[in-house]
Amino acid sequence: MNQVTPPLSRSGSGFARVLNRWGLPAPLFLGYAGLLLFMIGDGVESGFIAPFMADNGAGTEIKASYVITVYGVAVMLASWLSGALSDLWGPRRVMMIGLAIWLTFDVLFLAIAVSGENYPLMLVFYGLRGFGYPMFAFGFLVWITAVAPVARLGAAVGWFYFAFTGGLPTLGALVASFTNPVLGQYGTLWASVALLALGGLLAIFGVRQRTGYTRLAPPDVKPVQSLVSSVSIAWKKPRVGVGMLVRVINTAPEFGMLVFFPTIFIEGIGFGESRWLLLVSVIYGTNIFFNLIFGVLSDRIGWRTTIFWFGAIGCAISILLLYFVPVAMGAEYYWLALLVGALYGATLAGFVPISALLPSLAPENKGGAMALLNLGAGAAAFVGPAIVSVFLGPLGAAGVVIVFAALYLVAAVMVRYLKLPEETAKAIEEDKSLQEVGEKVVTT
- Tens digit of pLDDT for each residue in 20-41? 888 899 999 999 999 999 999 9
pLDDT (0 to 100) of residue 433 = 57
Kindly tell me if the per-residue pLDDT of 357 is higher than 80.
Answer: yes
Q: Is the pLDDT score of 146 beyond 90? A: no
User: How large a percentage of the chain has pLDDT more than 90?
Assistant: 56
Helix axis angle for 422-443 and 354-361, nearest 10°, is: 120
Given pLDDT bands bounded at 50, 70 and 90, which one contains residue 400? very high
How many whole angstroms separate alpha carbon 16 and alpha carbon 3? Answer: 22
Reduced to 3 states (helix: H, G, I; strand: E, B; else coil), residue 330 is coil
Q: What is the mean pLDDT of residues 29-55?
A: 92
Give the model's pLDDT for residue 334: 97
Average of per-residue pLDDT across 278-294: 88
Residue 3 reports pLDDT greater than 80: no
Cα–Cα dist 352/250, whole Å: 9
Greatest Cα pair distance, the chain, in angstroms, is 66
Average pLDDT over residues 255-283: 91
What whole-number distance in Å separates Cα of residue 239 and Cα of residue 107? Answer: 41
Neighbours of 58 (CB within 10 A): 24
Average pLDDT, the chain: 88
Task: Determine the pLDDT at residue 6.
Answer: 43
Average pLDDT over residues 60-67: 85
| Average pLDDT for 145-163 | 87
Peptide bond preceding 359 in cis form (omega within 30 of 0): no
Weakest-pLDDT range from 171-175, 290-294, 391-395, 415-419: 171-175
Find the length of the chain.
444
Nearest alpha carbon to residue 89 among 229, 265, 249, 213: 213
**Between 153-165 and 29-43, two packed helices, what is the crossing angle to 10 degrees?**
30
CB 266 within 8 A of CB 397: no
Specify whether the CB–CB gap between 246 and 411 falls below 8 A.
yes
The whole-angstrom separation of Cα 57 and Cα 117 is 4
Q: Is the pLDDT score of 404 beyond 50?
A: yes
Q: Is the pTM of this model over 0.85?
A: no
pLDDT exceeds cutoff 80 at 142: yes
Decide if pLDDT at 429 tops 80: no
Q: Which residues of 78-116 are buried (b: 16+ CB within 10 A; e: fewer)?
A: bbbbbbbbbbbbbbbbbbbbbbebbbebbebbbeebbee
- Sign (positive/negative) of CA torsion 355, 356, 362, 366? positive
Per-residue model confidence as pLDDT tens digits over 94-116: 999 999 999 999 999 999 999 99
pLDDT of residue 7: 44
DSSP H or E run through 188 = helix 172-206
Angle at 124 between CA 119 and CA 125, to 5 degrees: 95
Is pLDDT at 367 greater than 60 in this prediction? yes
CA neighbours within 13 Å on the CB side: how many for 129?
A: 23
Higher pLDDT pick, 71 / 443:
71
Residue 301: CB partners within 8 Å, gap ≥ 6? none
